[in-house]
Amino acid sequence: MSDYNNSDQEVAASKAERRRTTIIQTLMSGSSTLIRDLAESLNVSLMTIHRDLAVLEKEGLVRRLRGSVSAEKSLLFESSYNYRGRKNVEDKRRLARAALAHLEPGNAVIIDDSTTTYHLTEFLPEVTPLTVITNAAPILERLRHLPEIDLISTGGRYHPGYNGYFGANCEKAILSYHVDVAILSTTTIQGLSMYTPDEIVVRAKQAMMKVARRRILLADATKFTFSALNYVAEITDFDLVILTGDIPPAKLDLIRASKLNVEIV
């Protein structure tokens, strides 16, 4: 009975984390949302949604007022990267470690701003020398002291929500390079398509894919749970997709039927 209860608690905690991440993504537009609308869209009770909002409010991410909720303008975007970065850390490290096997000393690698690809910084010193191009501020900070990594920043306008650099200058810089490997992650995968909430992220990812000889996508099981507005690409546009976690069998069957090169770790 004890094992059963522990399992139930783990499942409930996982569902709560997915709901809270969805709430954050919903509020990142900056507009206020009715709490009852959130409850309806997530198919949960008002009591459940208020419990979720209480947790997010304690973390300084949202503000409740008269039946509605909005992002804390001064804190949400800065905190959202940190919030996402704390989730599924072991899965993200497993994906990063697996990606390392597909790099060779001397490669030029371009890496996106995701909290998944950040974990590459732990392992990249094992395959130096490398050239690393990125728009991700945490990756730049982590790698800047390593002499065997030729580190290149894309530049651009800093976006605190993604803790990275974006915009026209970033995209122009990316398109001026030709690299061996692009390593990306995504907000969500629906069918065989990648989506993300923000157009500026779309353009940066698409530019990175365009300049790479080989493309690797990293995704844990949560990427098959959420929805997002903006189309990025087909996962079949990648030479390799590395997956981890408890991926729904139907989703996995669809991917395998596409003849995509898939590695599960």
Asked whether this chain's domains 2-83 and 88-264 adopt the same fold, the reply is no
Domains of the chain, by residue range, sit at 2-83, 88-264
- Over its C-alpha atoms, the chain yields an Rg (Å, rounded) of 19
pTM greater than 0.85: no
- CA–CA separation, 240 vs 183, rounded Å? 10
pLDDT string in tens for the chain (265-residue length): 445 455 555 556 667 888 887 887 777 666 688 999 999 999 999 999 999 999 888 877 788 888 999 876 544 444 456 566 566 789 999 999 999 999 999 999 999 999 999 999 999 999 999 999 999 999 999 999 999 999 999 999 998 778 899 999 999 999 999 999 999 999 889 999 999 888 999 999 999 999 999 999 999 998 887 777 889 999 999 999 999 988 989 999 999 999 999 999 9
Contact yes or no for 180/215 (Cβ under 8 A): no
Nearest to 92 by CA among 74, 73, 114: 114
Total Cβ atoms within 10 A of residue 93: 17
Could you say which architecture CATH assigns to the domain 88-264?
Answer: 3-Layer(aba) Sandwich (3.40)
- CA–CA separation, 105 vs 150, rounded Å? 12
The verdict on domain 2-83 having CATH code 1.10.10.10 is: yes
